[in-house]
Structure 1
Amino acid sequence: MSTDLLTEDQREALQELVNIGMGQAGASIAQVLDEFVKLSIPRISSVAAANLSQEIVRLVGDADVSAIRQAFTTEFRGEAIVIYPEQSMAGLHEVMGYDADTKENKGEILLDIGNILVGACVGGIANLLGMLSAFSAPTLIADQTPAYRLLKPEHIQARVALLVEVYFVLEERDFRCHLIILMPETDILALGQALDRFVDGI
């Protein structure tokens, strides 16, 4: 089964747009946390749903994670998942001034940071493509869950999903999180058409 649903030109264009969106997200989070944020270079791949659990473990390691999930709709639809390795949570509690032992505070932090990341990244991409975007409220989908159990094939509404991986790190703290964007096949193809229009209009 082929999972290569974007052309090389489309993939390169999407990487540039994700770079811009993540730059906006990083600036927003740096302002909220008053900390310098380092961003990764985006990695974009099409992944068979059956292999998604292995991809998550490859990305974040084999430790426990917490995660939030947020759906979005533009001319294409999908969902963003922000994954927080548990070993880095103490650094975020420290910078936010929250009690690390209070579960309500932890959930609030995860939702707030995830909402900023997803809104800036996905919203920034949609804006550059000339599209309106809408988002569901973020929800907590995992709390101290083994990474391999985070996403199962039955959680993905297609045989292939687009995996857009980025992560950010607080330079002065032991904290990082990963943003993954998942889209089903028909919407990946719609995104590809939008990227073609964007490149042709440059």
Structure 2
Amino acid sequence: MQQDALQELVNIGVGQAAGTLNEMVQSHIALQIPHVRLLSVLEAEKQLQKQLDGEPMSAVQLGFNGSFSGVAQLVFPTASALALVAILTGEPLDGPDLDSLKISTLNEVGNIVINGVMGAIANTLEQYLEYDIPVYLEDTISHLLYNQVSADDAILLAETRFEIQQLQVTGNIILVFRVGSLDALLYALRIP
């Protein structure tokens, strides 16, 4: 029941983020979250390594503090990230300006999606959160996770599909809750 409630909260946030992105780019962007899983750091790393096969990743990361604390990341395989940037900016994939647009565009998308999800969680559960400034990173999933987490943290993993004009771009929303923060989140759900 807790996982279903978390899934619904993430879906609400992603729906709000999709609406904002649609307005920004004057195009229909559908964001789908097939499923949400609660994992340990080790389980999350194994799952993401299997799925991503060690390829380099592009990530937007946003720290959060308040009623619960941790780090939220929107993570894409680098090829998916470039495809998303090309679509959102209208720049061709082999365009000379694509690299310079990548960081600012992905930071904006990450900020919208992560704030949508975290805002839905905080507002629905009537909890207080503060956010850091989004940061763009490129690295393997192992480094992206282990530079931000401790072994006792808990991870909420949501696979995200961006569907734009029949092109599917897949990424992951990774919410890392510091020790004790997941318990506070689950308590706020008020589901046994």
TM-score after normalising by structure 2: 0.84
Unaligned runs of 5+ in 1: 1-8
Q: What pairs up with 1:170-189 in 2 under 5 angstroms?
A: 170-172=163-165, 173-189=167-183
Is the contact between residue 62 and residue 146 of structure 1 (CA under 8 Å) also seen in structure 2?
Answer: yes
Give the AA of the match of 1:130: E
Determine if the alignment matches structure 1 residue 135 to structure 2 residue 109.
no
Aligned partner of 2:33 in structure 1 is 40
1:40 Cα deviation from its structure 2 partner: 2.1
Q: Which runs of 4+ in 1 moved over 4 A?
A: none
Match of 1:190 among 179, 184, 187: 184
Tell me the distance in 2 between the aligned counterparts of 1:10 and 1:28: 27
Q: Does 1:96 align with 2:89?
A: yes
Q: How high is the sequence identity, in percent, across the aligned residues? A: 24
Q: Name the CA shift for 1:148/1:82 in 2 (closer, same or farther; >3 Å).
A: same
Q: Are 2:16 and 1:31 equivalent residues in the alignment?
A: no
Matching of residues 1-202 of structure 1 within 5 Å: 9-33=1-25, 34-47=27-40, 49-88=41-80, 89-98=82-91, 100-102=95-97, 103-142=99-138, 145-152=139-146, 155-172=148-165, 173-196=167-190
Alpha-carbon distance in 2 for matches of 1:128, 1:121:
11
**CA distance change for structure 1 residues 148 and 133 in 2, over 3 Å: closer, same or farther?**
closer
Instruction: Give SS of 1:185's match.
Output: coil
Mind listing any 5+ residue stretches in structure 2 that lack a counterpart?
none
- 1:132–1:98 CA distance, 2 compared to 1 (3 A): farther
Partners of 2:68 and 2:182 within 8 A in 1: yes
- Residues 113 and 91 of structure 1: CA distance in aligned 2, closer, same or farther (over 3 Å): closer
**For 1:60 and 1:25, how far apart are their aligned partners in 2?**
24
Please report the RMSD computed on the Cα atoms of aligned residues, expressed in angstroms.
2.3
CA distance in 2, matches of 1:72, 1:122: 9
Q: Deviations over 1:149-196 (max 9, x none)?
A: 4322x6313424122313031232353322111112300111111011
For residue 3 of structure 1, what is the aligned residue in structure 2? none
Give the deviation of 1:11 after TM superposition: 2.1
How many aligned positions are there? 186
Amino acid at match of 2:175: I
Amino acid at match of 1:23: G
Cα gap change, 1:26/1:101 in structure 2, threshold over 3 Å: closer, same or farther? Answer: same
Tell me the secondary structure at the aligned position of residue 183 of structure 2.
helix
User: Any idea what the Cα deviations from partners look like across 1:103-135, whole Å, max 9, x if unmatched?
Assistant: 331100110000000111111111011123221
Paired with 2:52 and 2:30, the residues of 1 have a C-alpha distance of 18
Q: Aligned partners of 1:91, 1:75: CA distance in 2, in Å? A: 33
